Structure 1
């Protein structure tokens, strides 16, 4: 579920978290928050490992990655579901009995202070999430018979768009346009392409 090593499991990751001094765990939570707000592409595992080693805590990069994945998962879950700090702590204790009270209090305090900000960011992402245009196909057709159309023998353009939504699901949108509408559509796509080249 979380991409954690089966041999380690959630309990093993929590045991490693419990080895961390409070200030280092707080810094780790802060770097995860920055990442989840898209202010940083990823949590720098090497830098985090170095901080731990300077503090006398010997955790390998894989363990630091597991800690980051675990806390990122629960922060995302809490942000998307708009969970308060009490419910987040309950979710953490459901996944492992190895949490100490001081560590859970730190997570509670951290989420109380920063959870609303991350929830607002998740809401913006949901509102701004649009599909990605994967493919567009078009073909020229000619209307030769119709029950409702009066002007037959006029050309039209049939367009099929393949769109990937934010979850990765593919959908198809199809529509028809007159030749003049298609020319205007084409011109607008060219304008968008030229604007995107300048970004």
Structure 2
């Protein structure tokens, strides 16, 4: 049984969801289901916010993030539990929240249409359980002090990688390489790209 604060938080999120029209809820769910089916790189909260604003609904950033988290968790849990559309609606109703019938119909229809695909993607992700590289940025610099360079004023490459973790969160990793290390890294990436094109 959820704690009082936790229950209040869920009720607030459900209340914020109910400020949306069923059409806006449908759009937000479709955006999230597209990600959960592996058809997009992540959940773009800014895009969802723009859709809400065009629909006349303005939410503060925290409320928007809570809605996105709630929908992600709802669909992920439904996938892991192999729920049908009817089962998902029952679970939502069991939560003690007052869901309008039109909203439950949106959840039922979308999960019936996309649930099997989400479950299939979850199985693939569970087997792979790795992040997805979405962006690489690099810059050339000059070393003034380093543990790996033997002499100062040696050129180096600084890399910043953006990775979508299996949870859906985008994280950044940065590191530095000497020029020969970067050339080897580049060569290995080209080889991987060539192999992936043959798949």
Same fold per superposition (TM over 0.5): yes
- 1:197 equivalent among 189, 192, 195: 189
Q: Which residue number corresponds to residue 42 of structure 1? A: 42
- The structural deviation recorded for 1:8 is 5.7
Distance 2:109 2:25 in 1: 13
Distance 1:196 1:99 in 2: 52
Q: Normalised by the size of structure 2, how large is the TM-score? A: 0.60
Q: Deviations over 1:114-143 (max 9, x none)?
A: 10111111122223347xxxxxxxxxxxxx
Q: Which residue number corresponds to residue 74 of structure 1? A: 74
- The structural deviation recorded for 1:195 is 7.0
* Greater Cα offset, 39-48 or 65-74: 39-48
Q: Which residue number corresponds to residue 101 of structure 2? A: 101
Aligned length: 137
Runs of 4+ residues over 6 Å off in structure 1: none
- The structural deviation recorded for 1:101 is 1.4
> CA 1:123/1:58 → structure 2, altered by over 3 Å: closer, same or farther?
same
Structure 1, gaps ≥5 residues long: 131-165, 168-192
